[in-house]
Amino acid sequence: MRRPAYERARIATGIVHFGPGAFHRAHVAWFIEQLLTHDARWGICGVSLRSAELRDALAPQDNLYTQVSLGSETPYQVIGALMQLLVAPESPEAVLQRLADPATRIVTITVTEKGYCLDGSGNLDLARSDVQRDLRQPYAPATVHGYLLEALRRRRLAGHAPLTIISCDNLSGNGLLLGRAVRQMAYLLDRSLARWIEEQVRFPRTMVDSITPATTGALREQVTAALGLEDRWPVQRESFVEWVMESLPGEDGPDWARAGVILTDDVGAHERAKLRLLNGAHSSLAYIGLLRGHRTVAQAMADPAVGTFVETLMREDILPTLHAPRGLDLPQYIDSILKRFRNPALEHALEQIAWDGSQKLPVRLLGTVSDTLAAGRPLERLCVPIAAWMGFVRLKARAAAPLVDPLAERLLELGRASQGQAASDLPAFLALPGVFPAALAASEPFRKALAHAYDMLAREDSSLGRALG
């Protein structure tokens, strides 16, 4: 049981993090824990944009929690980097004061793809009600962008240093997209502030990687037995952990490299490989595995038809769309991903991976499909997981089960209206706003390959095995 290797009372809060969920606490906070052993300036203030559940769970234990690494051995580590937790709807002014504090230099973000308020073209979605609210009431924000803008306005007015704002979500070009959306909102409110942000505020691109299953009752019992104390909200992740970040000009900021972060000028290649090979394969496993009746990633990989299909998809369909960044051997990277997927200690629920499919598919699979189409290569295998997602939606609707997705209401409506035939069902799915790019949705080869996969998966005699073959 590793404990914090520093005097916690001496830690200052220099980082504000939006979205302190399991991934942040198991990954980003773990790296920052390494920073604190030699630099006490970088304690974390976590900000929840919705729920007080985590704050209420961790407050009685001084925001300490246990991180468990899952592998052949199971080390435990108490993380002390999280110094404060704020709930934005309850204490918006406290959040803004912390962001505007001159001691705060870094903002990190894990709010999932849907938290970026983007439309299908990657711009700020001005049709969203929360974005419109922030434009009407910029001093009482609701979105991440709104909080950042008001904090930057206050910092500029007070003569404080700008912030470095680091997206840690699975979006291609995450820093570029976040920076553009923040500036777009700024230009609608205060053009001089927008120009200052463009000149002064950094939004580095990053790539983060570590499979993080949800916390379960079994994990809580396991940690209580190991710790000898109750931990109300421990987290677990695989032993593999990686954070790749765009190199920043010299400044008096965190020594990221010393904490184990990989600094590079080619984040895009790392990110593209991870999003397509790991995340794309993960989503494929989720939808196909659930249709096959499996519960976890390891169970799905143990199914010969599913395991073989996913490996073939990675090696023959996804790999040709990538180029390797310096120091990364892509075939070996695929080997390592497959080994991670087969880790029996990882009880990673397919249902959890299946959440928010309308937001994940565009960045995890549809870019690969578009590149494959442009290169004139076969699309059939790549269309199977997309059709499986549609089948997953149809099954949820048929069972009147809840669906975790920003488009849940629209998707369930489509699922209920579906007849299980591509000719009648696909046009409605392909017209979903912000999911399928117009050029791809209009492509005849794509529509034909997707229709074939959809019809095979929809058949009651379960043609899934043949589709995977």
Q: 199-246 pLDDT, tens per residue?
A: 999 999 999 999 898 899 999 999 999 999 999 999 999 999 999 999
* Mean pLDDT across 414-435: 94
Superfamily of structural domain 8-264 = NAD(P)-binding Rossmann-like Domain (3.40.50.720)
Give which of 277, 250, 248 is closest to 265, Cα–Cα. Answer: 248
| End-to-end Cα distance, the chain | 46
131 vs 268: CA distance, rounded Å: 28
138 vs 233: CA distance, rounded Å: 34
pLDDT in tens, 111-164: 988 889 888 788 999 999 999 999 999 999 999 999 999 999 999 999 999 999
* Mean pLDDT across 30-50: 96
What secondary structure letter does DSSP report for 115?
A: G
The answer to whether residues 68 and 236 touch, using CB atoms and an 8 Å cutoff, is: yes
The share of the chain scoring above pLDDT 90, in percent, equals 85
CA 176 to chain centre: 16
Write down the pLDDT at residue 465.
64
| AA letter at 223 | V
pLDDT band at 400 (very low <50, low <70, confident <90, very high): very high
Question: 77: exposed, middle or buried (C-beta count within 10 Å: 0-12, 13-18, 19+)?
Answer: middle
* Mean pLDDT across 87-91: 96
The answer to whether residues 357 and 287 touch, using CB atoms and an 8 Å cutoff, is: yes
Q: Where are the domains of the chain?
A: 8-264, 268-468
Write down the pLDDT at residue 170.
83
In which element (H, E) is residue 311 found? Answer: helix 304-312
Write down the pLDDT at residue 461.
45
Taking CA atoms, 287 is separated from 175, 282, 350, in Å, by 29, 9, 8
173 vs 156: CA distance, rounded Å: 26
pLDDT in tens, 304-354: 999 999 999 999 999 999 988 888 899 999 999 999 999 888 888 999 999
* pLDDT of 89 above 90: yes
Assess whether the region 8-264 and the region 268-468 belong to the same CATH fold.
Answer: no
Write down the pLDDT at residue 65.
97
State the chain's mean pLDDT as an integer. Answer: 93
236 vs 227: CA distance, rounded Å: 15
For CA atoms 412, 414, 419, 422, the dihedral sign is negative
CA 70 to chain centre: 20
| Phi, psi angle pair for 205, to nearest 5° | -75, 145
* Mean pLDDT across 364-381: 96
pLDDT in tens, 184-212: 999 999 999 999 999 999 999 999 999 89
| Phi, psi angle pair for 79, to nearest 5° | -95, 125
What secondary structure letter does DSSP report for 76?
A: E
What's the CATH code, domain 268-468? 1.10.1040.10
280 vs 302: CA distance, rounded Å: 18
